[in-house]
Amino acid sequence: MSMIAAFYGGKSILITGATGFMGKVLMEKLFRTSPDLKVIYILVRPKAGQTLQQRVFQILNSKLFEKVKEVCPNVHEKIRAIYADLNQNDFGISKEDMQELLSCTNIIFHCAATVRFDDTLRHAVQLNVTATQQLLLMASQMPKLEAFIHISTAFSNCNLKHIDEVIYPCPVEPKKIIDSLEWLDDAIIDEITPKLIGDRPNTYTYTKALGEMVVQQESGNMNIAIIRPSIVGATWQEPFPFDDTYLSPSYYLRSGLIFCAGKGFLRAIKATPMAVADLIPVDTVVNLTLAVGWYTAVHRPKSTLVYHCTSGNFNPCNWGKMGFQILATFEKIPLERAFRRPYADFTTNNFTTQYRNAVSHRAPAIIYDFYLRLTGRKPRMTKLMNRLLRTVSMMEYFVNQSWEWSTYNTEMLMSELSPEDQRVFNFDVRQLNWLEYIENYVLGVKKYLLKEDMAGIPEAKQHLKRLRNIHYLFNTALFLIAWRLLIARSQMARNVWFFIVSFCYKFLSYFRASSTLKV
């Protein structure tokens, strides 16, 4: 019997960010392994014209929850969606709901955040720092609270090369930042943002570091733990390999890029092939999170423990290997109607990157838009390409260096688990087979995101052959035009040309004469 699963039985659990990438997988695992839990409160806001109930309905009816419905048929009765907007004071939660949350909650998993790299400092602080502070204040008034688990990121201290499982101080106190944002106007905030974030690449990593400081400062006598996952990717094993049925900004930077590589939109990136690609499957992160929730509540460590949830030190994979495997999979199972043949050119040089962007990305987009215009359609490729290149430039920081995360606490926790818990809540990434994982990822993009049928593979392969022929034809035509222009202008080029032509002529004459002799 799993001790962790039993621990969550009968518990009232509060999850923020339950509609997000990680939150959904966390909820799914909780229901699947502890169907006798009492209730999961989720703090949700209406979004994209959908009410809270519609959002919950959509989640429960997604493929992700298929297995849950078998083991927990009354799952819809056990989810209690509470209106909450983390940007508002007291999250805009009604008095009755707040009363219920305060008096019943046993465990909190705080997943909500803005994960966008391009968010303004004001918004990122509001969500990743102020909201965390408010939630801790709420938690401190919960008499039945057993553990508060805060999800941070392994990149909160990405300005360091070696990162320990400790909370590092930031030069400016979070409280001072929160206070000053109240009276500073947006233009001034934009101006001081680069100075504040210092050697971090974006507001996301900076505000996640501030969030950790807030957790430390406001922990009081609560049992708190922090989890720092690296780059969270699709599921590895559970509930089934690869799930990406979620709409979230993380999608754009994972499956979105794989999609662009498969379609041939993205053919070159500035990335260091030997740098570690510290991807971690979302089910691994969720398993560790649930194990940490149990350990923190039951063992009540004296201080706030930080757990790194990374793959690099256990089972490293580098960007070169990842790119190669993505391409190898697209060779076997190509996407339908690709724009160009998939190709991955990794370069670390700025000039080559600029050149590649111009020749491999922008020029084909412009030519294609010209074709669309000619055929009376709306051009769209250049806009798409600019957006893609902007995204790729934002990830350059993360794909051109490696970090070293210590994992003492994570390893300690692993050793504390019973063999059954190690199996049910497996977070040992040493068992991960990267080639298989990446292949499933690519397959998932094709099957679940693009909803492409495997029966279309022969046609997709034919299409790639046509693209290759067009590519050869185009390059030959380009070469001949360039050569023709050169011959018209340079005597030396003409001499070389005559030399080649006469050489070929002599060779052919010799070949014809010798074959006549044989006959």
Ligand X SMILES: NC(=O)C1=CN([C@@H]2O[C@H](COP(=O)(O)OP(=O)(O)OC[C@H]3O[C@@H](n4cnc5c(N)ncnc54)[C@H](OP(=O)(O)O)[C@@H]3O)[C@@H](O)[C@H]2O)C=CC1
Interaction site with ligand X (CB under 6 A): 17-23, 43, 45, 47, 84-87, 111-115, 127, 151, 153, 208, 229, 231-232, 248-250
Q: Does 231 bind ligand L6B7KVET (CB under 6 A)?
A: yes
The H or E element spanning position 25 is helix 21-33
> Pattern of binders to ligand L6B7KVET over 122-161, x per CB under 6 A?
-------------------------------x-x------
Q: Which residue has the tokens 């733990």?
A: 225
Q: Choose among ligand X, ligand L6B7KVET, none what residue 381 binds, the Cβ cut-off being 5 to 8 Å by kind.
A: none
Using CB atoms, what's the residue nearest to ligand X? 20
Distances from the Cα of 498 to the Cα of 108, 485, 507, 509, angstroms: 80, 15, 14, 16
Alpha-carbon distance of 64 to 58, in angstroms, equals 11
> Pattern of binders to ligand L6B7KVET over 165-204, x per CB under 6 A?
----------------------------------------
Helix (H, G, I), strand (E, B) or coil at 417: coil
Residue of the chain from 30, 121, 266, 338 that contacts ligand L6B7KVET (CB under 6 A): 266
Span from 64-72, 192-200, 255-263, 509-517 in contact with ligand L6B7KVET (CB under 6 A)? 255-263
Instruction: Decide: 120 and 161 in contact? Cβ < 8 Å.
Output: no
Q: Does 268 bind ligand L6B7KVET (CB under 6 A)?
A: yes
Of 208 and 263, which has the nearer Cβ to ligand X? 208
Q: Choose among ligand X, ligand L6B7KVET, none what residue 86 binds, the Cβ cut-off being 5 to 8 Å by kind.
A: ligand X
Instruction: Decide: 391 and 252 in contact? Cβ < 8 Å.
Output: yes
Q: How far is the CB of 104 from ligand L6B7KVET (least distance, A)?
A: 31
How far separated are the first and last CA of the chain, in Å rounded?
85
Helices assigned H by DSSP within 434-490: 434-444, 457-489
Q: How far is the CB of 277 from ligand X (least distance, A)?
A: 13
Of 222 and 271, which has the nearer Cβ to ligand L6B7KVET? 271
| Angle between helix 174-183 and 203-217 (nearest 10) | 120
Site size for ligand L6B7KVET, by CB under 6 A?
A: 30
Of 37 and 215, which has the nearer Cβ to ligand X? 215
Beta strands in 71-117 (DSSP E): 79-83, 107-110
Helix (H, G, I), strand (E, B) or coil at 31: helix
Q: Does 265 bind ligand L6B7KVET (CB under 6 A)?
A: no
Q: Could you tell me the two tokens for 100?
A: 């219920």
Q: Does 254 bind ligand L6B7KVET (CB under 6 A)?
A: yes
Of 19 and 440, which has the nearer Cβ to ligand X? 19
Of 33 and 318, which has the nearer Cβ to ligand L6B7KVET? 318
The distance from CA 457 to its chain's CA centroid, rounded to whole angstroms, is 27
Residue of the chain from 115, 225, 275, 306 that contacts ligand L6B7KVET (CB under 6 A): 115
Distances from the Cα of 427 to the Cα of 7, 110, 317, 424, 478, angstroms: 18, 19, 17, 9, 53
Alpha-carbon distance of 35 to 18, in angstroms, equals 17
Q: Choose among ligand L6B7KVET, ligand X, none what residue 268 binds, the Cβ cut-off being 5 to 8 Å by kind.
A: ligand L6B7KVET
Alpha-carbon distance of 210 to 175, in angstroms, equals 9
Q: How far is the CB of 325 from ligand L6B7KVET (least distance, A)?
A: 10
Distances from the Cα of 503 to the Cα of 114, 241, 481, 490, 512, angstroms: 67, 59, 22, 20, 14
Span from 38-46, 256-264, 287-295, 301-309 in contact with ligand L6B7KVET (CB under 6 A)? 256-264
Q: Choose among ligand L6B7KVET, ligand X, none what residue 113 binds, the Cβ cut-off being 5 to 8 Å by kind.
A: ligand X
Q: How far is the CB of 241 from ligand L6B7KVET (least distance, A)?
A: 16
Q: Choose among ligand X, ligand L6B7KVET, none what residue 464 binds, the Cβ cut-off being 5 to 8 Å by kind.
A: none
Q: Please give the DSSP secondary-structure letter assigned to residue 202.
A: S
Q: Choose among ligand X, ligand L6B7KVET, none what residue 45 binds, the Cβ cut-off being 5 to 8 Å by kind.
A: ligand X
Instruction: Decide: 301 and 223 in contact? Cβ < 8 Å.
Output: yes
Helices assigned H by DSSP within 168-316: 174-183, 186-197, 203-217, 249-253, 255-263, 282-299
Alpha-carbon distance of 313 to 121, in angstroms, equals 32
The residues of the shown chain that bind ligand L6B7KVET, judged by CB under 6 A, are 115-118, 153, 155, 231, 247, 249-254, 257-258, 261, 266-269, 323, 326, 344, 387, 391, 394-395, 398-399
